[in-house]
Every structure is written in structure tokens, then in C-alpha cells.
Amino acid sequence: MESLLKKVEHFHQLQNNGRAAEMNQLVSDDFFASFSLGHDSSFHTYNANEYRSGNLQAEKIYEGKRPRWEYCILGSGIRSDNEFVVSAHIDFYLDHELIKRAFCTEVYRKEQEKWKLLRQYMEKYD
């Protein structure tokens, strides 16, 4: 279990270090996400290509603003031989200012000997 959490931590470190291209290599082609992060509580869904593109765009938008996603793992578990689930709350900062808080569930799947992000669900909270 500990080695799987280190894989998740590595994924999050890539995000925090502005290494979107490397992070995108760890996103499954079967990826699906559902986010509710705005003020109107509507949900937006993303497939793998949309998510990867968004990561690259965010890297450019946030350049020089010191983005930071602080994950606090609430729970995790092995669902099968090739799937692992993590729940967390995330505080997102720009230039050390708290911008948004969210609850997140991520599912990782082992694909050709690599653990990749398969699904992600996020919902903001105040």
C-alpha cells in the first residue's frame, strides 16, 4: 500500500512542479473526470485528451504564480490487482494565497507496468 501511495505522491509532485507533459504520460487513455469547482455547482466532464490539454494550458497560465495543490489523503485502498483508490481534500494556492478547496477521489490503474490516473472526481467546498 505504501508504495502505491508513493506513486500517487509522485503524480502530485509533477503537478506542483509544473511538469504537465510528464504528468500527462501518467494519465490513462481511458481517463474520465467530473469536476464541480465553480460557484454554480455545475459539473464539467473531461476525457483524457481534454484533461491533458488542460494541464498544459494551466502550466502556461500559472507560470510565475507559484501554483500549489496541497493534498491531504483521507483514505486509500486497493480495489483489485490493478486498481487503487485515493480520497483527499485539496487546498489550491496561487502565490501563497488560498484560491479553492476541494474534495477529490482518484482511481489509478496499472497499465503495462505503470500506474496511471484513470478517474478523478472533484467537488469544491468552503
What is the distance, to the nearest Å, from the Cα of residue 79 to the centroid of all Cα atoms in its chain? 19
Contact (CB, 8 A) for 69 and 106: no
pLDDT at residue 42, as a whole number: 84
37-79 pLDDT, tens per residue? 777 778 899 999 999 999 999 999 999 999 999 999 999 999 9
pTM, 2 dp: 0.91
- Specify the CATH class of 2-125 in words: alpha beta
